[in-house]
Amino acid sequence: MRLKIFYLILKKDLVLFFRSRASFWATTLFVGGYLALLRLGLPPQETPLAVGVSFMVATQLTASVFLLLFGQVWEREWNAIAYILQLRVSPLALYLAKLVAYFMALMVLWLILHLIGFLFFKLTSHNLIVWSFLGTGFFLSMNASAIGALASGISFQTRYRELIMFLIYIPLILPVGIAAATFYRTLALYGKIGREGFFLTSLFFFFFSLGIFFYEHLLRD
């Protein structure tokens, strides 16, 4: 039963992500345009790896902030979540579905942004897409989803929820961004998995556990 509920909520969230022009596609257009414009500020020769990586990570982080905001807006807009709660839906299923939906939306966005990135930045390594997948695509999206679902839960019942959500989300996601960029660079330059891989995995499990234990408490006022 919980699995069915998880699937229903996940499907609904994904439909909303990709159907709402104001969420997914506006975010893609904005951060994609931002990425393309940044290229104009760089010299015409090949982009140093660190610069390319930083831009890709920063763009992905910016995108995650937008997606998080939109994801919360449609729950609160007509308070549909109140009906879900009164149906006694398992908060665990709700939290997991939110987390997986954010993760999948971020991964699709990551793919589109990297295509734009590779088009506009002359990167040095043909293997970058593999490193990029591990660094920004997987670890960053995974952590952004866990922290994002938790931050949106914490801010859910507050009056200035959009502001509170960012105030919680941004300081928590910044170390993730730095670790993901370092991980990405170390892997691309030396072919090694640095300590950042362990840090990012531990961080994910930490926020994931917090979400599992506290999500129900956060949703009801």
Partner 1 sequence: MAKKVVRFENLGRRFSGKFVFRHLNGVVEEGERIFLLGENGQGKTTLVQIFAEVLRPSEGLVHIAQISRGFISHEPMFYPQLSAWENLLFFMHLAGVSMKQERIKDVLFYFGLYERRHDIPAHFSKGMLQRLAWARLVLCQSEFLLLDEPFSSLDNYFRPKLVQALEQGGIDELSWRYTTLVLVEHQEELVARLGKRVWILHEGRLSEMRP
| Contact residues: partner 1, CB under 8 A | 1, 4-5, 8-9, 12, 15-16, 19-20, 74, 77-80, 82-89, 220-221
Q: How far apart are CA 198 and CA 209, in angstroms?
A: 16
Q: How many alpha carbons lie under 13 Å from residue 119 in its C-beta half-sphere? A: 11
| Closest CB 83 distance from partner 1, rounded Å | 4
| Closest CB 16 distance from partner 1, rounded Å | 6
Closer CB to partner 1, 40 or 77, in the complex: 77
Helix (H) or strand (E) holding 206: helix 195-219
193 alpha-carbon distance from chain centroid: 22
Q: How many residues does the chain have?
A: 221
| Closest CB 74 distance from partner 1, rounded Å | 6
Closer CB to partner 1, 84 or 113, in the complex: 84
Query: Cα angle vertex 214, ends 212, 220, to 5°?
Result: 120
| Closest CB 77 distance from partner 1, rounded Å | 6
Closer CB to partner 1, 77 or 171, in the complex: 77
Are the C-beta atoms of residues 164 and 155 closer than 8 Å to each other?
Answer: yes
| Closest CB 95 distance from partner 1, rounded Å | 15
Closer CB to partner 1, 132 or 155, in the complex: 155
Closer CB to partner 1, 14 or 189, in the complex: 14
| Closest CB 109 distance from partner 1, rounded Å | 18
Q: How far apart are CA 20 and CA 14, in angstroms?
A: 10
Closer CB to partner 1, 98 or 185, in the complex: 98
26 alpha-carbon distance from chain centroid: 15
Are the C-beta atoms of residues 113 and 32 closer than 8 Å to each other?
Answer: yes
Q: How far apart are CA 10 and CA 97, in angstroms?
A: 5
